[in-house]
Amino acid sequence: DGGITQSPKYLFRKEGQNVTLSCEQNLNHDAMYWYRQDPGQGLRLIYYSQIVNDFQKGDIAEGYSVSREKKESFPLTVTSAQKNPTAFYLCASRREYSNQPQHFGDGTRLSIL
């Protein structure tokens, strides 16, 4: 979806290193989401935010952190505490308080060096 930009497309992490994945949207959506996708497991929710300066843990938040200082931006940090970070990370956004679907970015593929 052209309105959500994730960067970088590919990212490599060294042992003990924190890395930050960027997600920016220009759709004026209130809610933003981070998912992790592993083969055969579908999408699992890491964190979500319904409004600026507020966010909630999803199903697999351990080892991750987020911030929502601006409506347009919802960066995800994969910390060194996340022992198995290799995955495809997807950011999504949605207009809040409606039945609107989520719109996804192109994703970031994170690998361990």
Partner 1 sequence: GQQVMQIPQYQHVQEGEDFTTYCNSSTTLSNIQWYKQRPGGHPVFLIQLVKSGEVKKQKRLTFQFGEAKKNSSLHITATQTTDVGTYFCAGVGIYNQGGKLIFGQGTELSVKP
CB of 67 to partner 1, least distance (A): 17
For residue 62, how many other CB atoms are within 10 A of its CB? Answer: 10
Sign of the alpha-carbon torsion through 55, 60, 61, 66: negative
Q: Which of residues 26-65 bind partner 1 (CB under 8 A)?
A: 31, 33, 35, 40-45, 48, 50, 56, 58-59
CB of 13 to partner 1, least distance (A): 21
For residue 16, what are the β-bridge partners? none
Name every residue whose Cβ is closer than 8 Å to that of residue 2 and which is 6 or more positions away in sequence. none
CB of 89 to partner 1, least distance (A): 11
Chain positions contacting partner 1, by CB under 8 A: 1, 31, 33, 35, 40-45, 48, 50, 56, 58-59, 90, 94, 96, 99, 101-107
